Amino acid sequence: MKPAAVITGASGGIGQAVARQFAAAGYQVFCGCNSHLEEAQRLARALCEQGAQAQALQADLSDPKQAAEFAKAVQAQCGAVDVLVNNAGIAQQKLFQDITDEDWRRMMGVNLDGVFYLTRALLPGMIRKKSGRIINISSVWGVCGASCEVHYSAAKAAVAGMTKALAKEVGPSGITVNCIAPGVIRTPMLESFSEEELEQLAQQTPMGRLGTGDDIAALAVFLASSQAGFVTGQVICADGGFALS
């Protein structure tokens, strides 16, 4: 049986790239999504046409009951998962004083609570078999903060903190927990930015370009591999040096 990888937010730019690269690496891929089921299903079909095993599953992971049902559906097909990539996320630009209670709760619900709920549901299976890889997708803004994105930055910083703490707790069970903090990645999440603004961001990046979903996916596949077996509790900025500038 192929090893199983769960990728949340698989309908988005980074998530699709991660799903494709894990499928290419020989994993059975479960493509999690919430509001864009058709896109996730399209991705799963394309992967299956290429000879991979892939399936799209829908759930609002900010709801603990739906997260538990999602995990149950996955484990019914593959048993304990080998890799969990917590990638689902949303972004929003607002002045701090304009952030509503609803904005705050939705940001924390999707970007932080969902990571907690799904990890909690899938972790026992990893502990029983004493192996597993958990890869959380944070953001460079969770490392250095972003003006007009305080709630987003706070949620992503919390994901990094969760990563470090959980890595210490589950290391004795043979499980690694790492965090990728992408820089400015060219995905649909940047649709609100003008080409001029994107060019300015590229100029602020020492590598001189914006990142791609494949840049993040390649790192995720490495962290899931045996080559990264001694790497845990790390927050790795895949940002072209953006956080250094």
Annotated catalytic residues are 152
Which residues are paired to 85 by β-bridges? 7, 135
Query: Exposed (0-12), middle (13-18) or buried (19+): which is 107, by Cβ within 10 Å?
Result: buried
Residue 159 tokens, joined: 């994901």
How far apart are alpha carbons 190 and 211 in whole angstroms?
12
Alpha-carbon separation of residue 178 from 21, 132, 190, 202, 229 (angstroms): 18, 11, 25, 26, 11
Neighbours of 18 (CB within 10 A): 33
